[in-house]
Chain A
Amino acid sequence: MNSISRRKFLKITGFSVGAAAAATALSPMIKGANRINKEKVKGIQKIPTYCDICFWKCGTVAYLKDGELWKVEGHPNDPLSKGRLCPRGTGGIGAVSDPDRLRSPLIRTRERGEEVWKEVTWDEALGYIADKMQKIKTQYGPESVASFSHGIGGNFLKHTLKAYGAINFAAPSFAQCRGPRDVGFELTFGEAIGSPERTDIENAKCLVLIGSHLGENMHNTQVQEFANAVQNDASVIVVDPRFSVAASKAKYYLPIKPGTDIALLLAWMNVIVSEKLYDVDYVSKYGFGFEQFAAELSAYTPEWAYTETGIEPELIRASAREMAMHKPATLVHPGRHATWYGDDAQRSRAIALLNALLGSWGRKGGFFYPASYSLPGYPYPAYPTSTKEKLDNPGKKYPFASEEITTGIREATITEQPYPIKGWFIYATNLIHALPNQEETIKAIQNLDLMVVVDVIPSEIAGWADVVLPESVYLERYDDLHMSAFKETFIGIRQPVVESPADQKPNWWIAKKLAEKLGLGNYYPWNHVEDYLDHRLKAGGLSLEQLKKEGIIRGPKPPIYFEDGIVPEFPTPSGKIEFYSLQLQEAGFDPVPKFKRPEQAPSGYYRLLFGRAPVHSFSRTQSNRILMDMMEENEVWVNQDVAEKWGLKNAQHVRLKNQDGVVSNKIKVKVTERIRTDCVYMVHGFGHNSKMLKGAFGKGASDAGLVTKYATDPLMGGTGMNVNFVTFEMEA
């Protein structure tokens, strides 16, 4: 990890630093730039758009007071926000006024990672990139430029890269997040969970959360529905090594030993099957291989599970019976960030199987069949075809990967096999904090001829780039249409509310100008993104003018449950719900999930767990001054008994050292009775060392830096990250 500890701080040229400093001191300067029009409009203006502080894309109404950005609220007609944003969304205006924002294009002038730059014009920056891209194309082929992207804002850049001939596109949202969950459900029901999740939390009579910390994990619609379920006296069952906020709402709290969830799931299913509490009709009608599945379960008694999980057998039985009592309106939540131990697709499959026993898939209060608005795509010229294969998963090493694997591209960039990767385009994802093992990421970067980061803030990954392109914040730009699949169909628009304060540009403009520089202008037959949006909307009998005014247009509300007309179809090999999976068996995996005991912590070490806080998104919001005022640093949660053993006092600072000797930034100790004695917990996204992130620099510690070890899921290539152990180093 020397390469990281030696890493020099971000050194932007004097002009840039000066500009950022001036912006801090003279906030009216920024405010003045935030006018929607050059002429101030008196009074209150309301402009609808949709949020980008996380990926949920909540409908939003922005308020301008006398032409200045004042506040944002939820769009009352939006099926996702239902008129109410989460705290991050409400604090979204802080992204506009963030004095740490990138302000102008930058080109690296010293060694990569030294973070010394010159400010350049857009023409120079894009010309530089296009030149390098042409060289890579000539020498290696266009497939050797790969893209990492997060969020809808990456659509236009992907279009340009596809037109150029790139084929390797990945997002950490698969192999570092929800991938195992989606694969586990695909293997069982033939369909993934999707985003936003197809979970009918609101109508659940029993809600089971396994490590899912709703309320701290602030997926807006889910939290709103969770609060409604609590109000309606739904039985909540929470499984978590930490007494989460959700646990405080629970009828049954199961303080599980980390890494033993599959044992608990098998025991729950053992109880439900052996006591014949499952939905017999549903299972016999839609199930495949139930007898073999049931036979495998017989060994997994609650008494067996107790020895692994530490959960009392009677608590396992009582909670299983509670689930069965409320079936089929019992939702065993599939979670979202599911990359924990490397057996995550099988754990997710066990969750899917438990839901199958309860008959909740396709039922009210369980998993609905989502519906989405559909518009034809823009009629672009066809992309060039390639004779090369994507290289993130060569030879289908991970046979059930249903999306591209970021860490596969990273590995190929290091090994240059099956062919070299020489260019990385990174849009709005801080790979240094998102991928496990930062050393490997940095090693891969050393092999590149071109690394471009497009973002709104100077995140750590920007510090390693050759070219940094400053994007407009969501309140300053258009993006593609929002048509998520959910409980009803709708279209939402993102449109500019205020002007960008400096030389930032919207992603559509960046992508189009880059295409022109590459001689691919024919892939952008439209002049302005408004023409593109209007063209797509007209094809659906709508118009941009209407959508700009209304913000959200709601479409038909088709049936979403079996009981109101959805035909039960399961696109699995058997066409049924696969209790026993022959395709897993044929690929050499367990057809029914099995429990494998995880590696235990060395003496004096504690398993490192991490999660979310409601006021921050990933490592992308810590310099937002409004959200910073809510939470400016993370804490390490330490059980009272552990703290006593180490002589730790609440609020003192320590450093964490992991099993590989990596030492974290200073972090404040939270001594608490809300966590087990064998693990510690921290909120992800803090501990920034990008110096230009003045507001966030050095505040709290980074879990990502301590995740040097990861366990790769053999089914789908996900990177389990809860396999690291830490101990305490005292601060003098």
Chain B
Amino acid sequence: MARYGMVIDTKKCVGCMDCVVACKTENNVPEGHNRDWIVTVANGKFPDVNLEIQSQRCNHCDNTPCVACCPTGASHVHDVGGVVLVEHNMCIGCKACLAACPYDARFVHPDGYADKCTFCIHSVEKGELPACVSVCPTHCMYFGDLDDPNSEVSKLIASRKNHPLIPEAGTKPRIFYLT
């Protein structure tokens, strides 16, 4: 079975937020909320500054505190690609998963359920790419099967310097940033 993940090239990313806008229109994310977002990390003293621009979202971790803490089973690991999803009808909006997530990737939808990135599984299951990946004008985002050594994502992780976010949380995140 596939294990979906993402690789994002921070060398190419300009932080334009097209990924955020595309997610919003694709998934009808309500006003005031976003399922993905941009973080710009700046280090150094002017003019010797370094920037790393990161398009962030749910990391669809291998170890899932959000699933483990869910009292109803609404938060679950999907059969396809191991994507972490929320079954809206089962969610009671208790926010345990919001607290458990080290990436602050979840929010409560105005309709009362915990919401977050789905890796656009509705598109992926049709052979398409997640909206954020498919719109990116800089082509800095890659999506695929981390367990397939021949996938583009696996090759990029093998060949380029990269890091995940907050590895010390021990959740084994599946998004890797090329630097």
**What are the interface flags for A669-696 relative to B under an 8 Å C-beta threshold, 1 for contact and 0 otherwise?**
0001111110000000000000000000
- B12–A227 contact, CB under 8 A? yes
A235 CA to B118 CA, complexed, in Å? 38
A243 x B16 contact (CB < 8 A): no
Is B75 an interface residue, CB under 8 A from the partner?
Answer: no
Nearest CB in chain A to that of B139: its residue? A227
> Interface readout for B123-154 with A: 1 if CB under 8 Å, 0 if not?
00000000000111111100000000000000
Shortest beta-carbon distance from A430 to chain B in Å: 23
Instruction: Tell whether, in the assembled complex, residue B26 and residue A71 are in contact, meaning their CB atoms are under 8 Å apart.
Output: yes
Known: A223-B16, A630-B21. A85 touches B49 (CB 8 A): no
Known contacts: A74-B135, A629-B34. The answer to whether A91 contacts B46 by CB under 8 A is no
Check if B17 sits within 8 Å of A614, measured CB to CB. Answer: yes
Are B12 and A220 touching (Cβ within 8 A)?
Answer: no
Residues of B within 8 A of A84 (CB): 18, 134-137, 139
Please classify the interface of chain A as helix (H, G, I), strand (E, B), loop, or mixed, using the class held by over half of its residues: mixed
- Nearest residue, chain A, Cβ from B28: A70
- Are B137 and A86 in contact (CB-based, < 8 A)? yes
Quick check: B46 and A675 within 8 Å, CB to CB?
yes
Q: A615 contacts B16, CB within 8 Å? A: yes
From A215, A674, A677, give the contact of B42 (CB < 8 A): A674
Most A CB within 10 A of own CB, among B15, B45, B134, B138: B138
Which of A629-673 touch B at CB < 8 Å? 629-631, 639-640, 672-673
CB distance from B161 to the nearest CB of A (A): 15
B24 at the interface (CB under 8 A from A): yes
Q: Which residue of A lies closest to B47 (CB)?
A: A255
Other-chain contact of A245, B15, B25, B31 (Cβ < 8 Å) = B15
Chain A residue at smallest Cβ distance from B22: A90
Complex CA–CA separation, A91 to B21 (angstroms): 6
Are A85 and B135 neighbours in the complex by a CB distance under 8 Å?
yes
B52 to chain A, nearest CB (A): 8
| CB nearest neighbor in A for B45 | A673
Nearest-neighbour CB distance to chain B for A561, whole angstroms, equals 25
Task: Flag whether A210 is at the interface (Cβ < 8 A).
Answer: no
Report A64-87 residues with CB < 8 Å from chain B CB: 70-74, 84-87
Q: How far is the CA of A677 from the CA of B32 in the complex (A)?
A: 35
Among B31, B33, B137, point to the contact of A85 (Cβ < 8 A): B137
A-B contact count (CB 8 A): 120
By beta carbon, the residue of chain A nearest B32 is: A629
Q: Is A93 an interface residue (CB 8 A)?
A: yes
Residues of A within 8 Å of B9, CB to CB, are 231
Which residues of the other chain, A, contact B134 by a CB distance below 8 angstroms? Answer: 73, 84
A 133-150 contacts with B by CB, 8 A:
none
For the complex, give the distance between the alpha carbons of A174 and B32 in Å. Answer: 37
A377 smallest CB distance to B (angstroms): 33
A207-223 Cβ-contact flags toward B at 8 Å (1 or 0): 00000001110101001
Select A253's contact among B12, B21, B47, beta carbons within 8 Å: B47
Measured in the bound complex, the distance between the Cα atoms of B54 and A248 in whole Å is 13
Once A90-B18, A230-B12 are accepted as A-B contacts, the answer to whether A629 and B31 lie under 8 Å apart by CB is yes
Among A220, A245, A629, A639, the residue within 8 A (CB) of B137 is: A220
In the assembled complex, which residues on chain B have CB atoms less than 8 Å from the CB atom of A199? Answer: none
Q: Is the CB of A87 within 8 A of B49?
A: no
Q: Are A249 and B49 neighbours in the complex by a CB distance under 8 Å?
A: no
Contact of A673 among B15, B44, B53, B135 (CB under 8 A): B44
Which chain B positions have C-beta within 8 A of A91? Answer: 21, 24-25
The residue on A at minimum CB distance from B34 is A629
Q: How many residues of B contact A (CB 8 A)?
A: 34
**A630 & B15 in contact (Cβ 8 Å cutoff):** no
In the assembled complex, A625 has its CB within 8 A of some CB on chain B: yes
List which A286-336 residues lie within 8 A (CB) of chain B.
Answer: none
A228-B47 Cα distance, complex, nearest whole Å: 25
A72 and B25 in contact (CB under 8 A), knowing A87-B16, A223-B16? yes
The reply on A626 being an interface residue by CB < 8 A is: yes
In-complex Cβ contact of B49 among A226, A228, A673 (8 A): A673
Query: Do residues A248 and B138 form an inter-chain contact, with CB atoms below 8 A?
Result: no
Docked pose: A216 CA to B21 CA in angstroms: 15
A227 to B136: give the CA distance in the assembly, Å: 11
A214 vs B137: C-alpha distance in the bound complex, in angstroms?
A: 12
- Whether, in the assembled complex, B8 has its beta carbon less than 8 Å from a beta carbon of chain A, the answer is no
Q: Judging by beta carbons under 8 Å apart, are B12 and A87 in contact?
A: no
Complex interface bits, B50-77 against A, C-beta within 8 A gives 1, otherwise 0: 1101000000000000000000000000
- B47 and A243 form a contact (CB under 8 A): yes
Query: Is A224 part of the contact surface with B, judged by Cβ < 8 Å?
Result: yes
- Quick check: is B14 within 8 A (CB to CB) of the other chain? yes
Complex: how many Å from CA A612 to CA B61?
A: 36
Indicate if the CB atoms of B24 and A227 lie closer than 8 Å: no
Nearest chain A CB to B157's CB is how many angstroms away? 17
Question: C-beta contact mask, B97-141 vs A, less than 8 Å → 1, else 0?
Answer: 000000000000000000000000000000000000011111110
How long is the Cα–Cα vector from A87 to B21 in the complex, in angstroms? 6
Once A215-B16, A673-B44, A674-B42 are accepted as A-B contacts, the answer to whether A626 and B137 lie under 8 Å apart by CB is no
Q: Verify B21–A674 contact, CB threshold 8 A.
A: no
Q: Are A673 and B42 touching (Cβ within 8 A)? A: yes
Instruction: Judge whether B20 is part of the interface by a CB distance below 8 angstroms.
Output: yes
Q: Which residue of B14, B32, B44 is within 8 Å of A227 (Cβ)?
A: B14
A609 at the interface (CB under 8 A from B): no
Complex Cα spacing A85 to B139, Å: 12
Return chain B residues, CB-CB under 8 Å to A220.
137
Interface residue B11 (Cβ < 8 Å from any Cβ of A): yes
Least Cβ–Cβ distance between B136 and chain A, in angstroms:
7
- Is the CB of A457 closer than 8 A to any CB of chain B? no
Query: Which chain B positions have C-beta within 8 A of A253?
Result: 47
Complex CA distance for A273 and B45, rounded to whole angstroms: 34
A673 and B26 alpha carbons, distance in the complex (Å): 36
The reply on A627 being an interface residue by CB < 8 A is yes
User: A248-B50, A248-B53 are known contacts; what are 20 more A-B pairs with Cβ within 8 Å?
Assistant: A74-B135, A84-B135, A87-B17, A90-B135, A93-B25, A214-B14, A215-B16, A216-B14, A216-B16, A223-B14, A224-B138, A227-B138, A231-B11, A245-B15, A245-B53, A625-B31, A627-B21, A672-B42, A673-B45, A674-B46
**18 residue pairs bridging A and B, Cβ less than 8 Å apart:** A86-B16, A87-B16, A218-B137, A223-B16, A223-B138, A227-B14, A231-B11, A246-B14, A247-B49, A248-B49, A615-B21, A626-B24, A629-B31, A640-B46, A672-B42, A673-B44, A674-B46, A677-B46
Q: Which are the 3 A-B pairs with shortest beta-carbon distances?
A: A215-B14, A227-B138, A248-B51
